[in-house]
Amino acid sequence: MAKNEWFGEWFDSKYYHVLYQNRDTKEAEAFIDNLVGALKPKNNSKILDLACGKGRHAKYLAGLGYDVTGLDLSKKSIKSARRYEQDNLTFFSHDMRYPFRSNYFDYIFNMFTSFGYFETEKDNVDALKNVAVGLNKKGTFVLDYFNAKKVVKELKARETKTVKGIKFNLTRKVEDGFIIKNISFKDQEKKYKFQERVSAFEKKHFNKLFKKAGLKMDAVYGDYQMNKFKPSSSNRLIIVGSK
């Protein structure tokens, strides 16, 4: 399924978690607080964290009292996430291109640019169709993406990061509608190479994909403080949608 796709290999690698170990958890939790403040979910709301990684944010949502399910393609990430499981928090390994549950969730969250990895439009539309299937009649979908326009404009072609004694060499480019990051490094005398390929989707692209999937855009925000989206300067493209 995802064996030969970059995300299937990279997200299951321990080096992915090494490179990105300093991601800002406080910022992520503040975003969830702001999102919950804007959406005002009922106490018993069923929430799906789609592409949940190791489950930190699903755990935070469960701590707020919601009934939370976390899904991720990476079996290793889900194995790690399951240490958080409790009565209102469960995790499953699952590919978002395939249906999970029907007419079930009050909210589906896809956070921190966890979309746009697929090579074909069909895969992207299929994933969004499954979101529509998973939502109940009055359900809400939140997709949090980078602002591709700004990312492309400010793209740093080369960068070196040393984390836990490993020197990661990063190169970036835009090609065929994808923002591509090549990652190379050496650990214990062995050389490694990985690649990230994320679609440079702008609001207009999502509008097209949402329509094909039977979803509509209800609101668009530009940062984790839920300010208005500005195409040239916002850091994020946060779409709130529904069926």
What is the residue range of 41's domain? Answer: 6-146+201-242
| Helical (H) or strand (E) element with 118 | none
Residues 63 and 182 occupy one common structural domain: no
> Do residues 141 and 224 share a domain?
yes
Structure tokens at 19: 């490179």
In whole angstroms, what is the distance from residue 182 CA to residue 164 CA?
Answer: 19
Phi, psi of 167 (to 5 degrees): -90, 110
Give the up-direction half-sphere exposure of residue 20: CA atoms within 13 A in the CB hemisphere. 13
pLDDT surpasses 80 at 4: no
- My answer on whether 29 and 140 are in the same domain is yes
Whether 128 and 169 map to the same domain: the answer is: no
Q: Are residues 68 and 118 in the same domain?
A: yes
**Same-domain pairing of 136 and 212:** yes
Considering the chain, what percentage of its residues have pLDDT values greater than 70?
98
pLDDT of residue 1: 47
Average pLDDT for 11-26? 85
In this prediction the pTM is: 0.94
For the segment 105-123, what is each residue's pLDDT rounded down to a tens digit?
999 999 999 999 999 999 9
Is the residue at 1 inside a domain?
no
Do residue 93 and residue 158 come from a single domain? no
Is 124 a domain residue?
Answer: yes
CATH number, domain containing residue 92: 3.40.50.150
CA angle 71, 181, 184 (to 5 degrees): 100
Residue 99 dihedral angles phi and psi, to the nearest 5°: -60, 150
Alpha-carbon distance of 40 to 205, in angstroms, equals 28
Predicted pLDDT of residue 47: 98
Q: For residue range 119-148, what is the model confidence (pLDDT) as tens digits?
A: 999 999 999 999 999 999 999 999 999 999
Do 219 and 112 share a domain, yes or no?
Answer: yes
84 DSSP assignment: G
- Whether residue 60 sits in one domain with residue 45: yes
Instruction: Give me the number of domains the chain comprises.
Output: 2
Neighbours of 22 (CB within 10 A): 8
Q: What is the DSSP letter of 26?
A: H
E-only strand ranges, 147-187 = 158-163, 166-175, 178-187
The tally of CA atoms less than 13 A away on the side-chain side of residue 118 is 15
Which tens digits make up the pLDDT trace of 154-203? 999 999 999 999 999 999 999 999 999 999 999 999 999 999 999 999 99
Let me know whether 104 and 224 are in one domain. yes
| Residue 54 included in any domain | yes
Same domain, 112 and 166: no
Greatest Cα-to-Cα distance within the chain, rounded to the nearest angstrom: 55
Tell whether 110 and 214 lie within a shared domain.
Answer: yes
Beta strands across the sheet bearing 236-242: 89-93, 67-72, 46-50, 105-110, 135-146, 236-242, 216-221
51: pLDDT strictly greater than 90: yes
- Going across the sheet that includes 158-163, the strands are 158-163, 166-175, 178-187, 190-199
In this structure, is residue 233 part of a structural domain? Answer: yes
Flag whether 127 is in a domain.
Answer: yes
Task: Among 180, 196, 212, give the residue marking a domain's end.
Answer: 196
pLDDT computed for residue 121 by the predictor: 96
